[in-house]
Amino acid sequence: MTRLFNEPAAFADEMIEGFVASHGRWVKRVSGGVVRNTQSTPDTVALVIGGGSGHYPAFAGLVGQGLAHGAAMGNLFASPSAQQIYNVAKAANNGGGVLLGYGNYAGDVLHFNQAQDRLRKDGIDCRSIAVTDDVSSAPLAERTKRRGIAGDLTVFKVAAAAAEAGYSMDATVEIAERANDRTRSFGVAFSGCTLPGAVHPLFSVPEGRMAVGMGIHGEPGIDETEIPTADQLAELLVAKLLTEIPEGLKADGARVVPILNGLGSVKYEELFVVYRRVAQLLAEAGLVAVDPQVGELVTSFDMAGTSLTLFWLDDELEFLWNAPADAPAFRRGAVTAAALEAGDGSELADVELSIPDATAESRAGAVRVLAALGAAKDVVDANADELGRIDAVAGDGDHGIGMERGVRAAVDAARNAVARGAGAGTTLHFAADAWADKAGGTSGALWGMALRAVGDAVGDSNATDGGAVAAGVAGAAAAIMDFGKAKPGDKTLVDVLVPFRDALAAGVDAGQSLTDAWGAAATVAQQAAEDTAQLLPLMGRARPHAEKSLGTPDAGAVSMALIVRAIHNTFAEAKAAETTIKENA
C-alpha cells in the first residue's frame, strides 16, 4: 500500500514539487510538468513525453540531455490535460518542432491530439507517436489498439537520440515509428497496487496465483495461473514474446535489447534471478542480447509484478539506443554537459483572464452556477472512494481522485469568476477549463467540454432559463459524443447524458420550470446509471476486461447521475427560498 501522503488529491502535485527539488541539475518545473534545465541545440526537434503520475521513473525521470526535452505529468494514472501538454511543449520547443510521445490510452490520445492541434495552430510543427508494445492488450491484427507499457522507454530513447543528432522531424518520426514496430512487451502481477488514501488495492490476486497480462494502471490481467518458479516465469515471458517476432525478422542472429521491468514491489534480486533464465533462453533461441536492462523503469506504485520487453534492433536503432544520455533515471555513456537554461519562474505563473461584461441577470445566474458546482463538489467528495472502487473493477481506479481534483478546481475557478463580476457563461467557461486542466484523463476532458457547452448556450447577457440550459446540455452531449466517439450502449457517461438530455428537453418543452424539468431528468439519469451494470464496456481501459464489469455500473455514469441530482437539490433550495421571500413580502 501507499503509506506516505498528505491529501490524496494533492499527491501528484506534491510529488512533482519534491522531484524537481531533488533533481534540479536535470529539470525545472513548468506549468503542466517539467522540462530540461539545460540548453538544447536551437532548431532541433523537441521530444515531449507524458502520461499519468504513479509510474516513476516514467515520465519525468526520462527528461535530460539525450532523452526527452519535457514531460507532461497528469494526475495519478490519468493522462495530463491538453493544457498541461501544450504548456510543456511550448516551454520545450527548440524551434524545430515538437514530437509528442505517450502510451496508447484513450485519455492520452484525446488530450495529446488536442494539444497537437493547438500547437499546429500556433505554427509549430507537431507530430505524435503512441506506443503500442503490450501484446496482451489486443491481438496482432489490432496492434493499433494495444497499450503502451515498458516499451515506452525504447521508443522515447531512440526518438530523443535522433532529435539530439539533428534528424529532421520527418526522420525523427520515422525512427520512432520503427522502434515502436520492433518493440514487444508482456507482463504479470502477483498483487494489485493501492492509490494514496485508498483502503483496498485496485485489484487483487488470490494467494498463490498470478495475473497474466495486467496493465500498468492496475487493469486486471486477462488470465490467471499458479505462481511459477523464477525459471518458469522466464520461460512464459520469453515464449510469449517469441511468438511475435517483427515481420521480416528471424530469431537466429537477431540483436535485441531485453528489458526486465519491475512494477514496484518485486525486488531487484528477484528480477536478477528471473533474468538469469531469460538470458539463457534468448541465447538458446539464437538471439544476441544487447545492453540488457533489469530494474524499475515503468512502475505502478506498489504493484508486485514484472514485464519483459524485447526491442528488435537494426544498425541505426542500435546506434541511437547506445547514444549518450543523462536523465535522472536513465544514463548512458558520457554527454557534454550543456549550460543551464535561464529562468525566472515565470513558466509557472498563471495568467489572469479578463472578465467580459455581463448583465445583472447573468451575474445572478453565475451565483447559481457556483452553488451548483459546490453541490457537485460535495457529492463527489462524499463518494470519491466508491467511485474509485467501481472504476477499479475493470479499469484503473482513478475516477474518484480525478473527479475530486477536477470539481475542486472548477469550484475555485468559478468562485474567482463570480467575485470578479462574471456572468454565468464566463463562470462556466472558467470552471470548464479548470476542470479539464486539473483532472486530466478522459473524464476531465469530457466534463470540461460539458461545462463549456452549457456556458456557450447561457452566455453572459440573459437569464439562465430552462431553454438555454437544455440547449447547453444538448450541446454537451453532441460535443462529447463527437470527441470521444462513444454512443449509448458503450457503457460510458453517455449512457446517462443522452437520456438526461432528452428528459430535460421534454420537460422544458412541456412548459415545466427548470427546477422541475431538471428534477425529473435527474431521476431518469439515476436509473440510466444503474442500468449500465448490465452493459459491457466498448470504450476505454475497461474494454479488454469487459466481462469483469458485468453487474457493476460504469463509474463515469454513476458520477454524472450523482452530480445532476445534487445540482437539482440546489435548484430546489433556491426555488424554496424564493417562495419564502415572496410569502413574507
Please identify which residue in the block is written with the cell numbers 476531465. Answer: 444
> Dihedrals φ, ψ of 68, to 5°?
-70, 150
336 Cβ contact list (under 8 Å, min separation 6)? none
> Dihedrals φ, ψ of 421, to 5°?
85, 25
User: If DSSP codes are grouped into helix, strand and coil, which group holds residue 261?
Assistant: strand
3-state secondary structure 166-229: CCCHHHHHHHHHHHHHCEEEEEEEEECCCCCCCCCCCCCCCCCEEEECCCCCCCCCCEEEECCC
Q: Which of 212, 213, 215, 218 is nearest to 198 (CA)?
A: 218
Q: Which residues of 310-323 are buried (b: 16+ CB within 10 A; e: fewer)?
A: bbbbeeebbebbbb
β 183-191/126-131 pair status: unpaired
Measure Cα distances from 549 to 176, 291, 393, 555, 578 in Å: 35, 41, 6, 10, 44
Q: Which of 575, 583, 471, 453 is nearest to 516 (CA)?
A: 575
185 Cβ contact list (under 8 Å, min separation 6)? 133, 134, 135, 149, 150, 151, 241, 259, 261, 307, 308, 309, 310
Choosing from 55, 111, 217, 399, which is the catalytic residue? 217
Q: How many CB atoms lie within 10 A of CB 153?
A: 29
Return the H-helix or E-strand segment holding 295.
Answer: strand 293-295
Instruction: Judge whether 55 counts as a catalytic residue.
Output: no
Among all residues, which ones are annotated catalytic?
217
